């Protein structure tokens, strides 16, 4: 029996669906400016191999690195009504959506999936900052509700990776209403006695921070992530003074008692496995991982072809 057969075929994702990038492509570190091999950088989860700076990572890439063997199954998210307010600024909202979909090859700003980490079944949700700033609208709300419902149904913990500039202004009050909506979702998990772990990534701000992203049983952040309610520029305008070095960064929040841990992305997977298994009162994880699937196995599993640029 193939190790992959108990997964639903057409919806499966694996490391092989990753968009191939040529080996000779270089990327520049946002922070130290080092030129890094794209492949090397992506194998290090977009953490600079020179200075340790954490660059953005898409939910799909994150899940491929998080789940055992890079295998996960997407959880369906009910589609909300589109453009409920008929919002128009300089562009129409549906046009902005289309542009974001084209840019990211994703349909919205959150990806929900289930799979195993260290052979521990979990549900995970990750917010996509590259999709309209990761902004929280009705879709993101639906995604968190779907994730929580799935977790409760399967009796699994939920691990959520946040990244957002805040609420989706184009959905007006309905984006604001995702604060209570997602809070209800988190309450479902808590009442089912299931762990809810939040990993705050750069940046997590506004209404997102002031709702589901601050309600975890365990709150972890990636190094140097900006985490705040009001952004530093708004505060500087209000109080008319310079803010201290590192203000609102993960380490600063840790110092002020707002987080449990600050953990490097490259150590996160092991740490999540450890924490989740203890909260579930399970035995320690077996060290070592499933081997990566061979290309033949992956194609047999019916992975999606790489998407178009």
Partner 1 sequence: MTQYLDFEKPLAEIEGKAEELRAMARQNEEMDIEQEAAALDKKADALLKELYANLTPWRKCQIARHPERPHCKDYIEALFNEYTPLAGDRNYADDHAVMGGLARFNDQPVVVIGHEKGDDTKTRIERNFGMARPEGYRKAIRLMELADKFGLPVITLVDTPGAYPGKGAEERGQSEAIARSTEKCLQIKVPMISIIIGEGGSGGAVAFATANRVAMLEHSVYSVISPEGCASILWKDAEKMREAAEALRITAQDLKALGVNDLVIAEPLGGAHRDQQAAISSVRDAISSMLEEMKDMSRDELLSDRRKKFLDMGSKGLAA
Q: Coil, helix or strand for 195?
A: coil
Write out the two tokens for 160: 């959520």
CB of 46 to Zn ion, least distance (A): 11
Q: Where along the sequence are the contacts to Zn ion (CB under 5 A)?
A: 29, 31-32, 34, 48, 50-51, 53
Binding residues among 83-112 for partner 1 as defined by CB under 8 A: 83-90
* Position among 213, 226, 275, 301 found at the interface with partner 1 (CB under 8 A): 213
| Among 16, 8, 90, 6, residue whose Cα is nearest residue 307 | 16
Residue 192 contact partner, candidates Zn ion, partner 1, none, CB within 5 to 8 A by sort of partner:
none
Binding residues among 29-58 for partner 1 as defined by CB under 8 A: none
Count, in order, helices (H) and strands (E) of the chain.
10, 11
Residues 6+ apart with CB under 8 A from 105: 307, 308
CB of 174 to partner 1, least distance (A): 5
E strand residue ranges, the chain:
12-13, 26-28, 35-37, 72-74, 110-117, 120-127, 158-164, 196-205, 218-221, 227-228, 261-262
Asked if residue 132 binds partner 1 (CB under 8 A), the reply is: no
Residue 145 contact partner, candidates Zn ion, partner 1, none, CB within 5 to 8 A by sort of partner:
partner 1
Asked if residue 245 binds partner 1 (CB under 8 A), the reply is: no
Q: Are 205 and 167 in contact (CB under 8 A)?
A: no
Give me the DSSP letters along 241-257. Answer: SPPPTTTTBHHHHHHTT
* Position among 230, 254, 279, 285 found at the interface with partner 1 (CB under 8 A): 230
Asked if residue 1 binds partner 1 (CB under 8 A), the reply is: no
Nearer to Zn ion, 48 or 57 (CB): 48
Q: Roughly what angle, to the nearest 10 degrees, separates helices 265-279 and 59-66?
A: 60
Asked if residue 207 binds partner 1 (CB under 8 A), the reply is: yes
Strand partners, 219: 198
Q: Which stretch binds partner 1 (CB under 8 A): 11-19, 66-74, 104-112, 235-243?
A: 235-243
Interface contacts to partner 1, rule CB under 8 A: 80-81, 83-90, 138, 141, 145, 167, 169, 171-177, 179-181, 183-184, 186-187, 206-207, 209-215, 227-230, 234-235, 238-239, 241, 243, 247-248, 256-258
């Amino acid at each position: 029996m193939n190790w992959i057969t108990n997964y639903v075929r057409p919806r499966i994702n694996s490391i092989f669906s990753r968009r191939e990038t040529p080996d000779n492509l270089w990327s520049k570190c946002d922070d130290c400016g080092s030129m890094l091999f794209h492949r090397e950088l992506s194998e290090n989860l977009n953490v600079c191999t020179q200075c340790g700076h954490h660059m953005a990572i898409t939910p799909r890439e994150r899940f491929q690195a998080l789940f055992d063997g890079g295998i996960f199954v997407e959880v369906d998210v009910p589609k909300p009504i589109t453009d409920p307010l008929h919002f128009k600024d300089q562009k129409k909202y549906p046009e902005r959506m289309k542009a974001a979909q084209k840019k990211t090859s994703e349909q919205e700003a959150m990806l929900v999936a289930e799979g195993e980490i260290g052979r521990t079944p979990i549900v995970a949700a990750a917010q996509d900052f590259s999709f309209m700033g990761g902004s929280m609208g009705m879709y993101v709300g639906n995604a968190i509700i779907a994730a929580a419902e799935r977790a409760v149904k399967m009796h699994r913990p939920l691990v959520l990776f946040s990244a957002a500039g805040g609420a989706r202004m184009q959905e007006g009050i309905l984006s604001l209403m995702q604060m209570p909506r997602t809070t209800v979702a988190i309450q479902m998990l808590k009442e089912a006695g299931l762990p809810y772990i939040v990993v705050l990534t750069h940046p997590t701000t506004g209404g997102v921070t002031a709702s589901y992203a601050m309600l975890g049983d365990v709150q972890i952040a990636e190094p140097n992530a900006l985490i705040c309610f009001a952004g530093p520029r708004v505060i500087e305008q209000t109080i008319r003074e310079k803010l201290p070095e590192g203000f609102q960064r993960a380490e600063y929040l840790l110092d002020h008692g707002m987080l449990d841990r600050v953990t490097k992305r490259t150590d996160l997977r092991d740490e999540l496995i450890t924490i989740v298994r203890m909260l579930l009162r399970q035995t320690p994880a077996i060290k070592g991982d499933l081997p990566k699937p061979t290309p033949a196995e992956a194609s047999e599993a019916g992975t999606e072809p790489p998407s178009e640029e």
